[in-house]
Amino acid sequence: MKVKDNIRYISTRGHEEEVNSAQAIIRGLAPDGGLYVPAVLPEMSFKLTSMGGVAYRDIAYKVIHSFFTDFSLEDLHKCTDGAYDEKFDTPLIAPVTHTSEAEFLELYHGRTAAFKDMALSILPYLLINSLRKERVDKNVAILTATSGDTGKAALEGFADVTGTDIIVFYPKKGISEIQRRQMVTQRGANTHVYGILGNFDDAQKGVKEIFADAEFAKALAARGYLLSSANSINIGRLVPQIAYYVAAYIRLVEAGRIGNGDKINLVVPTGNFGNILAGWYAAQIGLPVNKLICASNENNVLTDFINTGVYDTNRKFVITSSPSMDILVSSNLERLLWHLSGGNSQEITGYMKLLKKNGKYRLKPDTRAAMNEMFYGGYATGRSVNAAITKLWNEERYLIDTHTAVGYKVYLNYKKQTGDDTVTVIASTASAYKFADKIAACLGLPKEEDSFAYFNAIKKKTGVPIPEGLRRLAQKPILHDLSVKPGDMIKAVDYVLK
């Protein structure tokens, strides 16, 4: 198959200007507040049958090249070679572990022990290359809202990158202590971290409002800054995530678990819908996918949406043991709906206006039918998540974190309900050590005085190595201790970029 020439990007909300991938990466959001999507979906630039034994960085190169056609082959090779190297603790980068019930795609072997490393290791390379290609002479201020893992991975990726400032907003009471400490101890003269006195949706809304403020953008431009994003609203964050699903398929073929051309299921624990959307894109460019299983925690707005066609945020926000999924407004869903509606920007704009006004919208029948062809939605309660972690450890001596356990439990429910025995890949999104207190309880370990005290107990019990990036976290000094109200986020950005 061949890459379609000159893939262009367009806003989901109808802004008429088409841009190349470099311009979309630099901007993050479109001028009308929409998200950039490929105007025409590409096809894989390679055959899966020819990929046995190929290194992860080369798989990523081929996948990203399918979407970012305006990058030279030399520049893109430099990006993938620089991103996927010894900063990961395994040369496989994203290994697949077989259990009796499913295949676990381990996406947490990077520096911050979470799947966000897979894309945020390459985004700085893509952004700097894009700035050079487009001859942009301004500094870039990267605004990021995080539900726990994106923030640290973005800070790690952009720390001390010349010509950038990275500003991260996180919910003060909505993430694990390990996640918080990872961010507030981050070194780098260009790194800035703020706790939000609210939840992730408040942080995400605040970032989008800053992007939409034309007068503020003009004031920053006068100071020599332009705004961009490291969230998955940025197409440069999202596209690299497609690569690991393709790599997982190739590894399963190599291991003899499937034949080339066999379909697989993908189970993705998700809150903001970016990680599962990457799986959908993988299917659209040619990966043989049977079902995309969207796994939610008790903030199950996506489950209800897939099952009813109604997106309704008018519900209680629940703080769970899987905080990176504690989200009610799933930004990347807008991209999927644009594609499923046949690129109907007017329809998408209507949904987004209703969401802003009433907190809910109902899909049109044709769009809902298109979604239900591939997607299944399910959710898991906190108690069932804990039981799933205990079950998998006791039966197979395989340790998973609370987010992966959501995916695992939802998959068990799906299989029981449908009888589908298709080989299934579960996205394992974080190291269990990032949620050490919750994991220790599932393993029957005694309570400790703080989250870090559980590390050695878990290591002794399981033999699972403590990730290098977490090992000495408790001893690192606190470098960022500022908090803001959601309504004052723009003031914080203004202060940083004086």
Question: Does pLDDT of 28 surpass 90?
Answer: yes
Average pLDDT over residues 403-416: 98
The answer to whether residues 115 and 94 touch, using CB atoms and an 8 Å cutoff, is: no
Closest CA to 227 of 165, 272, 274, 168: 165
State the average pLDDT over residues 175-187.
95
pLDDT band at 27 (very low <50, low <70, confident <90, very high): very high
Per-residue pLDDT tens over the stretch 122-163: 999 999 999 999 999 999 999 999 988 899 999 999 999 999
CA nearest to 279, candidates 232, 237, 241: 241
Among 129, 152, 128, 151, CA closest to 140 = 128
Percent of the chain residues past pLDDT 70, beyond the cut? 99
Residue 174 — very low, low, confident or very high, per pLDDT cuts 50/70/90?
confident
Structure tokens at 107: 């996406």
Cα 308–chain centre separation: 25
pLDDT of 280 reads: 98
Band of residue 450 on the pLDDT scale cut at 50, 70, 90: confident
Q: Residue 482's closest CA among 201, 225, 169?
A: 169
- The CA distance from 168 to 230, in Å, is 9
451 conformational bin, left if phi > 0, alpha if psi -120 to 50, beta if neither? alpha
Note the pLDDT tens digit of each residue in 466-498. Answer: 999 999 999 999 999 999 999 999 999 999 999
What does the pLDDT read at residue 4? Answer: 54
For the record, the structure tokens of 191 come out as: 């790194």
Asked whether residue 370 carries a pLDDT value surpassing 70, the answer given is: yes
Task: Give the whole-number percent of the chain exceeding pLDDT 90.
Answer: 94
Q: What is the pLDDT of residue 3?
A: 45
Question: β-strand 96-98 against 103-106: which pairing, if any?
Answer: antiparallel
pLDDT averaged over the chain?
Answer: 95
Give me the sign of the Cα torsion angle 386, 196, 269, 369: positive
- SS3 string of the chain? CCCCCCCCEEECCCCCCCECHHHHHHHCECCCCCEEEECCCCCCCCCHHHCCCCCHHHHHHHHHHHHCCCCCHHHHHHHHHHHCCCCCCCCCCCCEEECCCCEEEECCCCCCCECCHHHHCCHHHHHHHHHHHCCCCCEEEEEEECCCCHHHHHHHHHCCCCCEEEEEEEECCCCCHHHHHHHHCCCCCCEEEEEECCCHHHHHHHHHHHHHCHHHHHHHHHCCEEEEECCCCCHHHHHHHHHHHHHHHHHHHHCCCCCCCCCEEEEEECCCCHHHHHHHHHHHCCCCEEEEEEEECCCCHHHHHHHHCEEECCCCCCCCCCHHHCCCCCCCHHHHHHHHCCCCHHHHHHHHHHHHHHCEEECCHHHHHHHHCCEEEEECCHHHHHHHHHHHHHHHCCCCCHHHHHHHHHHHHHHHHHCCCCCEEEEECECHHHHHHHHHHHCCCCCCCCHHHHHHHHHHHHCCCCCHHHHCHHHCCCCCCEEECHHHHHHHHHHHCC
Q: What is the pLDDT of residue 47?
A: 87
Which tens digits make up the pLDDT trace of 213-243?
A: 999 999 999 999 999 999 999 999 999 999 9
Comparing C-alpha atoms, which of 190, 194, 192 is closest to residue 202? 194
Beta bridge partners of 427: 105
Under a CB-based contact definition with an 8 Å cutoff, are residues 209 and 66 in contact?
no
Nearest alpha carbon to residue 455 among 430, 480, 441, 436: 436
Q: Which domains does the chain possess?
A: 96-113+236-467 (3.40.50.1100)
User: Span 66-92, mean pLDDT?
Assistant: 96
- What's the pLDDT band for 49 if we cut at 50, 70, 90? confident
Name which of 322, 331, 323 is nearest 273 in CA terms: 331
Q: Is the predicted pLDDT of residue 423 greater than 90, yes or no? A: yes
- Per the CB < 8 A criterion, the answer to whether 273 and 332 are in contact is yes
Full-model pTM: 0.95
Q: Quick one: pLDDT at residue 46?
A: 85
Question: Predicted confidence band at 2 (pLDDT cuts at 50, 70, 90)?
Answer: very low
Radius of gyration, CA atoms only, the chain: 21
Q: Which pLDDT does position 1 carry in this prediction?
A: 34
Q: Residue holding tokens 């999202």?
A: 238
Q: Is the dihedral of CA 130, 136, 142, 143 positive or negative?
A: negative
Q: Mean pLDDT, to the nearest integer, of 412-420?
A: 98
Work out the pLDDT band at 313, boundaries 50, 70, 90: very high
